[in-house]
Structure 1
Amino acid sequence: RGFFTSNRDGGQGYDDIYKFLETKRLLCEQELYGEITDLETSALLPDAKVSLFDSRFNLVSVTNSDEKGNYSFNVECGKTYNVRAEKIEYTTKEQKVTVDDKRGKTHLPIALEKSTCKVAIGDDLGKCFGIKMIYFDLDKYDIRREAAFDLEKILDVLSQNPTMKLDIRSHTDSRQTFKYNEILSEKRAKSTINWLIKNGVDPSRLTGRGYGETQLVNQCADGVKCSEEEHQLNRRSEFIITGL
């Protein structure tokens, strides 16, 4: 609600006073800001790529830290976001933040650790670079949003290591028949490979196959009662280095 003056036509005097009522809710915004630093030395890191994702892992915005390591985003009040910082020779890091429900600023500093991982052919890329396994929903082979969030880290590693090659190994849990799971895991391997190719990876750098339920990571074999969380650990894709 407010007032303003105007000498528009149709008034009753030279400068008339009008009142108004705003019926549309005004957007509440915050500034989400911080510094990208070296975890060990606390040195400021310029030109780090900083990506902002919403709570459902949809990409909202991308920026780079300035010469003093600073970054900032305009965000909506009261919402939860995921912020990813990445820089060559450093391990990519994500942090979740919920901003205040009032106008103002939210400070989120991010410290990156130097990547000291030395890989060899046969190593699991995820274990070395701190990348989660890519999990799938039951009976599904499409890439979930949170899985795409982690696959982007695979892209980052591949871009920094242009001669690296990967073998995508997809697995299922023990539910359904052996043959069904074999076919499903093949679809999951192809789905993962296609996502990487669609996002710029040369197909010659990727191979893959499905292993069905032959390589479970826990006790959840046929006939064993397990929770949904335990079964999901078996529905995964792994990234094995086959060339450097």
Structure 2
Amino acid sequence: MAKQDRAIRTRQSILEAAAVVFDERGYDAATITEILARAEVTKGALYFHFASKEELALAVIDAQLPAIPEPGERPVLSKMQELVDMGLIFAHRLLQDPLLRGSVRLTLEHGGTSLHRSTPFIGWTDLSTQVLVEGKERGEVLPHVVPSDTAELIVGAYAGINTMSQVVNQRADLERRAIVLYEHLMPSVAVPSVLARLDISPGRGARALAEIEKARVDSAEADATRLVTPAGV
């Protein structure tokens, strides 16, 4: 078990180091030598987990979606709040998580044409579609809205503001740009009663993420209590 845990930690260290190098240099300019130096592991350790730079880059790209909370992971006022929170949490985490930044750099850059970059776009679109469908079933979404079309619009627009914010000021204003996007978009998506209750204020991403982390801790503590409490007590 200790050996397995060590292998998991080593793999994660390599992923995080690679993400930093990819974020700084891009796929084509990044080298295995730089990644090894950053991760402080041997070449054998790296190739034990990843057969090539391309496979390593794909693993970094694939790390993007699991970083985002699943729909329904915490109670929220509405599915449309959940939709907004997904984008605002992402903006918040992008400033703090090097693995996420590396994943986004690889997804959005135009070099390294051999990389299959569509996974995050498809994943984000599917996730947004799911939330919009559930919102429509609950009467939160305007009748004319086609969930899949709206999801594609949100994902595409978000990718655009993300790229622009990165180029202009290293994403220092990404939260503001995301807020402006949702302020303009959500009146065309949500029914007025739901729209009036949406929280799209500055700091919402951090607050929503804190709520999720607290819910996870509470759930883990409840599970632990059930395991140690004798039956019938």
TM-score by length of 2: 0.24
Whose strand fraction is larger, Structure 1's or Structure 2's? 1
Whose helix fraction is larger, Structure 1's or Structure 2's? 2
Q: Could you say which structure has the larger radius of gyration?
A: 1
TM-score by length of 1: 0.23
